[in-house]
Structure 1
Amino acid sequence: MSEQKLAAELRTEFGKGFARRARAAGQIPAVIYGHGAEPIHVNLPGRATTLAVRTANALLSLDINGEDHLALVKDIQRDPIKQIIEHIDLLTVRKGEKVTVDVPVHVTGEAAPGAIANQEAVTVSLEAEATHLPTAVEVSIEGREAGAHVHASDLALPAGVTLLSDPETLVVNISEAAPVAEEEEGEAAPAAAAAEEAPAAE
């Protein structure tokens, strides 16, 4: 995953009032931390940042007063109602550095007829180079029969990526689909029989 380039502005004012004014001006407050350095507080361009962080574990190349800072998105705080981004926590990283991230698992394909797939784990923990982070891990369940299981150890990972989750973690469980129509018919039959046997009202 290549980094997204953004221009950031240093900020020296803090508090909810300032954050509201920044958001009203189309900016997103953020803090960069890591490597034992003092946190750096910045404002990011709202629209460009919103687009850049749509993928999990987005990597940002920030231009702060002419200096380049490579940072990984670690946490995004959103308004619970409007879902607009209110604040972003960023972890400073270096090229070649290994980092730990939680990556979403995408299930593709269709299970065999009469079987249904239940996704038990939506993410897995991985270690990868900061500049080569996978945005997701795909697993195909095409044609898998009821009773099949996909564990974390079964996932195909890109080169240089290490699984940190327990290898026995159940990711997808394939089970028999419930025979809904037959169950409904089976439940309806006794009810119909009871109705026929009931004496007519006088």
Structure 2
Amino acid sequence: MAVEKITAESRSEFGKGAARRIRRADKIPAVIYGHGNDPIHLSLPGHSTMMALKHGGANALLDLDIDGESQLALTKAVQIDPIRRVIEHIDFVAVRRGEKVTVDVPVHVVGEAASDTLVVTESSTIQLEVEATNIPEFLEVSVQGLEAGTQILVSDLVVPEGSVLLLDADTLVVNIVEPMSQAAMEADLGEAEGEAGDESESSEGEGGEGAPTEAAAEGDSAE
């Protein structure tokens, strides 16, 4: 993973008002936690930080220049405005070169399985213990030409040297299956509708003469 270098500014103002002023200046408020130190509050340049996160993915590693000192920071949480889709705040964890961290790495499925098959991703991320400077952006899984019935397990994944997979080796990652036929889909749908009908009849039976009506119950409580 490439480490993006960003020049950060220390900040001493906190709260919503301060954060709004930082964003109006096209900067991003951020904080670094970790290593038993007090949190470090920063403001980061908006565009270059956004591009660094885009290139680094979910576990982007930044080399932050803070008042002339370098600090490696691993992205842990990014708060995004749901309407404007801009970054509002970033939480980092401080790391050191050579230090191992635990991260969830996305699974990317590539290739085309055999015809008349369906590719089902059972595990979209894989937990990995890996050196902070060697975190893969994603783990690639090829399904090229695979037939129905093929299963790709955690033990089949290729990970960076020195890293450790933190899931059981037999955990299913990708499953190649036969698509459900139209007849089977209609049968499943009919069975589901039948079960829904049975539940409806059962609930109507439970609400018979012995059960108080809502109006009666409300009248009792009003008194």
Matches within 5 A, 1:9-158: 9-54=9-54, 55-158=57-160
CA shift, 1:180, in A, is 4.7
Aligned to 2:180: 178
Q: Check 1:183–1:164 CA distance in 2 against 1; reply closer, same or farther (3 A cut).
A: closer
TM-score (norm 1): 0.87
Runs of 4+ residues over 3 Å off in structure 1: 178-184
AA matched with 1:173: N
| Per-residue Cα deviation, 1:143-181 (whole angstroms, up to 9, x for no partner) | 111111111121111212210122222111111023459
| Per-residue Cα deviation, 1:56-107 (whole angstroms, up to 9, x for no partner) | 2111111111111111111101112222111000110000001111000000
Query: What SS does structure 2 have at the residue aligned with 1:53?
Result: helix
Does the 8 A contact of 2:9 with 2:66 survive in 1? yes
CA shift, 1:114, in A, is 1.1
Does the 8 A contact of 2:9 with 2:44 survive in 1? yes
Q: Tell me the number of residue pairs that the alignment of Structure 1 and Structure 2 aligns.
A: 184
Tell me the percent identity.
57
Query: What SS does structure 1 have at the residue aligned with 2:59?
Result: coil
Task: Name the Cα RMSD after superposition.
Answer: 1.6
In 2: Cα distance, 1:143 partner to 1:177 partner? 16
Aligned to 1:192: none
In 1: Cα distance, 2:8 partner to 2:14 partner? 16
Structure whose residues are more often strand by fraction: 1
In 2: Cα distance, 1:74 partner to 1:113 partner? 40
In 2: Cα distance, 1:116 partner to 1:128 partner? 32
| Per-residue Cα deviation, 1:167-199 (whole angstroms, up to 9, x for no partner) | 222111111023459989xxxxxxxxxxxxxxx
AA matched with 1:151: L
Among candidates 166, 187, 191, match of residue 168 of structure 2: 166
Q: Any unmatched runs of 5+ in structure 1? A: 185-202
Structure whose residues are more often helix by fraction: 2
Does the 8 A contact of 2:134 with 2:160 survive in 1? no
In 2: Cα distance, 1:61 partner to 1:156 partner? 27
TM-score (norm 2): 0.79
In 1: Cα distance, 2:62 partner to 2:101 partner? 15
Q: Check 1:17–1:165 CA distance in 2 against 1; reply closer, same or farther (3 A cut).
A: same
